[in-house]
Amino acid sequence: MPKIGAYESYCPIARALDTLGDRWTLLIMRELANGDHRFTDLRRNLPGIAPNLLSQRLKDLIDEGLVTTKELPPPAARTVYTATEYGRTTIPVLRALARFGFQRLEPADEGTPLRPVSAVNASLKPFYDPVRAGDLDELYDIVVDGESFRLASAYGGSDRPPTDTPDLRLELPAWVLVDLRLGTVKFDDALSRHLITKRGTAAALRNFRRIFQLD
């Protein structure tokens, strides 16, 4: 007899919720999808979670094979949490949730507490369209509140060296990026108001907007 699980339903969605449905679990995976984190990093980026609950959620995720720990070499010499290969299979789930959740966001402004990495991972990466990208191979540097992120038109990332000059460089605040996605700020208007600084060809900008659905 197959295991039914907490939802008493022989269903892959129910089984996924057995693993990911507890409060904070998906937000922890969101953080680890961005890279390795110390416990204190996770506490800082998830300010509402109690330390003992975070410890329990991390233990559960380790037991489920989604997260593991590793020791950084000197001079860091500290333990960090990292998503396993299996854990990284949650990234499409997180991106689907971001697309869904954007419909429920209010417009941002200069006072909205937004981390650059969160703005990029929520506003751009979930909306990448490989069909629109086709066989184009371009590099885009997106600088959000001073933090730089390298995106590529090629599905899975470009084979071009990371030292290559990007085809397009955009600098903008995190709140503008969110409002561009919401449609409450128009791209051309943001350029004319100098909310966005652009360096690169008009063709690269058109491609970027098409591929990441900012048209």
Give the tens place of pLDDT for each residue, 149-203: 999 999 988 888 888 999 999 999 999 999 999 999 999 999 999 999 999 999 9
Within-domain flag for 184: yes
Query: Same domain, yes or no, for 41 and 115?
Result: no
Residue 30 inside a domain? The answer is yes
Query: What mean pLDDT value characterizes the chain?
Result: 94
Question: Are residue 73 and residue 113 in the same domain, yes or no?
Answer: no
E strand intervals along the chain: 67-71, 79-83, 139-144, 147-152, 168-172, 197-200
3-state secondary structure of 81: strand
Query: Does 3 reside within a domain?
Result: no
**pLDDT for 74:** 81
Strand order from edge to edge, sheet including 197-200: 147-152, 139-144, 168-172, 197-200
β 168-172/197-200 pair status: antiparallel
**pTM, 2 dp:** 0.90
Residue 51, in any domain of the structure: yes
Return d(Cα 154, Cα 170) in angstroms, integer. 18
Smallest CA-to-CA distance from 174 within 131, 112, 128, 129 is with: 112
**What is the model's pLDDT at position 80?**
95
Counted domains in the chain:
2
Write the CB contacts of 118 (distance below 8 Å, at least 6 apart in sequence).
174
Tell me the per-residue pLDDT of 34-77, one tens digit each, with 9 for 90 and over: 999 999 999 999 999 999 999 999 999 999 999 999 998 887 66
Read off the DSSP letter of residue 37.
B
pLDDT at 181: 97
Q: What is the pLDDT of residue 4?
A: 66
The last residue of one of the domains, among 91, 117, 152, is 91
pLDDT score of 1 more than 60: no
Task: List, for residues 13-32, the tens digit of each pLDDT value.
Answer: 999 999 999 999 999 999 99
Provide the CB-side half-sphere exposure for 94 (13 A, CA). Answer: 22
Residues 150 and 174 in one domain: yes
- pLDDT higher than threshold 70 for residue 2: no
Same domain, 84 and 110: no
Cα distance between residue 97 and residue 100, in whole Å:
5
| Cα–Cα nearest to 26, from 75, 83, 78, 90 | 90
Rounded CA-CA distance 36/87 in Å is: 12
Residue 119 lies in a domain: yes
Domain with 196, as residue range(s), is 105-211
Whether 77 and 124 map to the same domain: the answer is no
Clarify whether residues 84 and 133 are in a common domain. Answer: no
- In a domain? residue 42: yes
Question: Do 126 and 206 belong together in one domain?
Answer: yes
Tell me if 7 is assigned to some domain: no
Task: Give the end of a domain, one of 62, 91, 120.
Answer: 91
Q: Are residues 86 and 109 in the same domain?
A: no
Q: Which residues pair with 70 in a beta bridge?
A: 80
**Residue 99 domain-assigned (yes or no):** no
Statement to judge: residues 110 and 69 lie in one domain: no
Question: The CATH number of the domain where 129 resides is what?
Answer: 3.30.1050.10
Let me know whether 116 and 203 are in one domain: yes
CATH code for the domain of 39: 1.10.10.10
